[in-house]
Structure 1
Amino acid sequence: MTDDPLIDPFADAGPRWMEGRTALVAGGGQNTAYPGVGYAICMLLAAHGARVAVLDRDKDAAARTVDRITADGGEAIPVIADVTSDRACADAVAETVSHFGRLDTLVHTVAVGDRAGVFEVTPERFDELMDANFKSAWSITRHAVPVLPRGSSIVTISSVGARYRGPGMVYCVAKAALENFTEGAATTLGPQGIRVNCVQVGAIYGAFAARGGMPQEMRKPRLEATSLKTEGTSWDIAYAALFLLSDRAKWISGHILTVEGGPPHRYPVGKPITSVP
């Protein structure tokens, strides 16, 4: 990188944004015919030169992602762990560092969707949903922080459900907690040179929706609710995460980046603008 302030510091950096980095992606396995957010992030990180540890509790799902990466000439390993276990999170970080020699990129994409209301679940189910959607991010991050060097980056994956105003769902509560954690972690870890950001996911259609059995007839109303009138995919989320994880976003931390196809229309839309009066 040049010291001349008039020259783009990334002008000669090449097309691969994550060259030389090692990434641990929680929830990186692939288990449906549609790409999951974790899978798409793993693929993009590898395509941009990162060595990727694909963390998933499903060994077959992790293997599918690893096989795809290696077939494309990338480097990846499966890390089998249940991130709702704090001990397993510690072991996953240790395994990644043991194999690759370092860790400087962390992504948490694990989520369990459940539309049950906050007063409709048992205490046990409440804890399960909070553990999967929020506490697991705290666990994997706290074990990663001691080995993350200055210049490292972390991205969590949330949902527009975090700003949903009711009826209350445990999933939305957990995602709101995740976003608050992201902002707090960014402030806390900033002096160590570690950036922490979040991608807030809109109504995309990917593995999460497919696995949850979303009816196909729901897809059109969802895309019509966006400003762009198009349907997003896991790749849209992955590219946002790639930017935040890369040095191109080296002065961005504590940010919640919403990827939802534009704010939803709540009022009638006027005619398309084709000329200026």
Structure 2
Amino acid sequence: MADRLDSTVALVTGASSGIGEATALELAAHGANVAIAARRRDRLDDLAERIRDVGVDALVLETDVTDEASVRAMVSETVARFGRLDTVVANAGVMLLGPVENAPVQEWERMIDLNLKGLLYTAHAALPHLLAAAESEPRNVTDLILISSVAGRVARLGNGVYTLTKHGVGAFAESLRQEVTKRHVRVSLIEPGAVATELASHNRPEILAATQARLAGVERLEAVDIAEAISFVVTRPRRVAVNEVLIRPTEQEG
């Protein structure tokens, strides 16, 4: 079947919950062996069992993507175990909202470290292996999926630094796409709107309350909705590159 990923290998960061978890399961269902990376080992172990239940292999990688050495080890262990790397989903990220005035600067540093530097480390370490796999069977094409946000397109009051990081992801994705596309590494940007995951829960209580009020009455996306979009992107024929996907809940205005 054209949409199968048999004999390929995927690596998903931020795989212990939400979009990362759902994506790992979705890619496994399409036949890929999946390396799953995050800091919460217990959740990864449980996910690995569910992946193996669909008949493919899983590799658990306890990883802090803000640490470059940890990221390089993550990629090296994946290739050592499976022999190749065909799909990378750089999903790990954090959303810490609030006004700039009197903001805890540590929140900014955390977003820059995870949303930007962690993603850059992942792309940099994985790229040689994606380029190599793109030259071989079974598909002769590979995919780097970068998870951004609606905030990568729309600046909104109270999300200045989060928006900064996600705009940066979009700019990086487009520049890298131009660099590697003729070598059949497809770089794709996924921009979800409001999704029912743990992402917002890391905010300070007053910020979380304001976010919930803003989205009151909106039926949020499920993580599987994003995972299915990612699987659509990576299962396209070699001639098709889906470079950008913006996905909002039907009722979300901005």
Q: Do the two structures share a fold, i.e. TM-score over 0.5?
A: yes
CA shift digits 1:97-148 (9 cap, x unpaired): 0000110110011111211334534555423211111111111101111111
Residue correspondence of structure 1 range 36-47 to structure 2 within 5 A = 36-47=18-29
Percent identity at matched positions? 26
1:261 — aligned with what?
Answer: 249
Gaps of 5+ in 1: 1-12, 31-35, 267-277
SS of structure 1 residue aligned to 2:215:
helix
Alignment equivalent of 1:234, drawn from 197, 211, 223? 223
Does the Cα contact within 8 Å between 2:148 and 2:191 map onto a contact in 1?
yes
CA distance in 2, matches of 1:210, 1:71: 30
1:68 Cα deviation from its structure 2 partner: 1.4
Please name the residue that 2:16 is paired with: 29
Are the aligned partners of 2:147 and 2:189 in contact in 1 as well (CA < 8 Å)? Answer: yes
Q: What are the ranges of 5 or more consecutive residues in structure 2 without an aligned counterpart?
A: 135-140
Residue type at the aligned position of 1:105 = T
Deviations 1:216-274 (A, max 9, x none): x938x63745xxxx431101111111111223474225x221110347458xxxxxxxx
Kindly state the Cα deviation for residue 24 of structure 1 after the two structures are TM-superposed.
Answer: 0.6
1:160 maps onto 2:119 in alignment:
no
Check if 1:222 corresponds to 2:222: no
Amino acid at match of 2:246: T
Q: Which residue matches 2:189?
A: 198
Higher relative CO (Cα under 8 Å, sequence separation at least 6) belongs to: 2
Structure 1 residue 115 corresponds to structure 2 residue 104: no
CA contact (8 A) 1:179 1:256 kept: no
Match of 2:161 in 1: 170
In the aligned structure 2, how far is the partner of 1:235 from the partner of 1:256? 18
Partner of 1:3: none
Distance in 2, matches of 1:145 and 1:184, equals 14
Letter in 1 for 2:164: V
The 3-state SS of whatever aligns with 2:145 is: strand
TM-score scaled by structure 1?
0.79
For 2:60 and 2:68, locate their aligned partners in 1 and report how far apart those are by CA, in whole Å. Answer: 18
Residue pairs, 1:76-155, within 5 angstroms = 76-121=58-103, 123-148=105-130, 149-150=133-134, 151-155=141-145
Q: CA shift at 1:203, angstroms? A: 1.0
CA distance in 2, matches of 1:187, 1:203: 29
Alignment partner, residue 243 of structure 1: 232
Instruction: Answer yes or no: is 1:57 the counterpart of 2:62.
Output: no
1:17–1:247 contact (8 Å) kept in structure 2: no
Choose from 4, 17, 23 the match for 2:4.
Answer: 17
User: How many residues are matched?
Assistant: 241
For the pair shown, the structure with the greater C-alpha radius of gyration is: 1
TM-score by length of 2: 0.85
For 2:157 and 2:10, how far apart are their aligned partners in 1?
A: 36
Q: Deviations over 1:153-204 (max 9, x none)?
A: 0111111122123344211211111111111111111122100011101112
Once the two structures are superposed, residues 58-97 of structure 1 have per-residue CA deviations (whole angstroms, 9 ceiling, x without a partner) of: 2112112112112333311101110001111111100000
